[in-house]
Chain A
C-alpha cells in the first residue's frame, strides 16, 4: 500500500519525450528525403579533405 502511495509522487518529466519525439520527426523527414543513401555514399568513400589530405 505504502509503495503505491510513493509512486504517486514521482514527477515524470515530459521534456525528454517532447525532444526525442521532435528529433524522431526530423529523422523521418530526412529519411523520407532519401538522405541515408547520400550519407552512406559519403561514408563509403575516403574523404581526403576530411582527414587533412589532398
Chain B
C-alpha cells in the first residue's frame, strides 16, 4: 500500500501515536504497582471482575484484522462476508462453559500447557508447546507487521518506525504491568474501538442511505447480495473452525480463564461474544457504501479507512487511526503476556528452574516479554510479505488440538495416545491437504482426523483419568 493513499498526514499520525503511547505506558506503570509475584503478574491476582473480564475477552478478539479486514471481506464477499466474520464470535460463546470448567478443575493452574502436561503427560505436552508457540509467535509477528503496514497506509509513517513504536509500547506496558495492564488497557481500548465504529457507521449512513447502497450493489455488484455466494459460504465455515481452534487451545484465553474471579468466566465470555458479534457487520458495511459514495478503492484492504475519511474528512481519518491503533495494541499486549507466561511457566519453571521463587518467576516473565518483543521486531524488520500467510498454514495445527482439549476437559476416557495421535496425525494430514487440495479444507480435515483418533483410542484403549490430578498445588 503506497503512502499516497494515506488518509492522515504524518505529523498528526505521530502526535496521536505519542499521546496513546504515553497513555498506555503510564497506565502500565500505574497498574504494575499491584504486581508482587508471578501470580499477580501473569493472572492479575486471579480476581478480575465481570466488567473488565468481558471487555478484555472482547478486545483481545478485536484485532486490526477485525477493523481493517471486515470491510475487505464485505467488499469481496458481500453480506455473507460480514456474517462469516461475525461467526468468529462463536469461539468466545463456546469457550464460556470451558472457562468455567477450567477454573473448577484447575484452581491453581497457570497455563494451557499445565493442563496438557497434567492431563496427557510430557510427550503430548511437548507437542502442544511446539504447536502453540509456533502459532502464537506467528500471530505476534503478523500483528506487529500489520501494525507497521497499517500505520504506514493510514498516516504515511514509515513501516519500520510504526512497527517499532507499536511493538515497543506494548512490550513496555506489558512488561511493567503484566496482566493487570493488559486487562485495564483492554477495557479502554474496547470502548474506544466500539464507539469509533458506531460514529463512523452513522456518519456513513448520514451521507448515503441503505436503500441507495442496495440499489448501487444490485446494479454493479449483484454477487455481493447473493444469498448463495459459494466463496462466502466457505468463508463462514473456515472462520468458525479457525475461531474455535484458536480460542480453545491458546494461552491467551486460558490465562483469562485462570485470571477471572470465580463465577465470572462463563458470563464474561458470553458477554464478550455478544459484544464482538455485531462488530464485523458494523465495521464492514462501510465497504458496501464505497460504490454509492463514489469512493475509488485502489486496494481492497484500504476500503474502510478510505470510505470513512471520505465521509468524515480529517476527523474520520483521526478516528480510524485511533481505532486501528487500539485494535493492534489490544491483541499484541495479550499475545505478549500470554506467550511469555507460557514460556515462563512451562519451560522456565517446569524444565529449567523448578525451584524458582515467585519473585524470580515474575522477573523471568518480564525478561521473556522483552525477548519476545525484540525477537518479533527482528523478524518484522525486513517486511517479508509472505509471512502473514504462515498464519493460515497454522490452521491445521490449531484445528488438530480442538478435540484433545475438549474431550480432555470433560471425558475421563480420553487418553494420552489419543491426544498424541490426534495432534500428530491431525496436523500432518491437515498440512498435506493444505498443499494438495487447498487452504479451505485443511483445518476441517485436521479436525476430522483428530476427532477420529481421540474417539478410537477412547473406545479401544480408554483411560480412567482422575480429575484431582489436575489440581496441582501452587508452588
Whether both chains belong to one complex is answered with no
Binding site for B on A (CB under 8 A): none
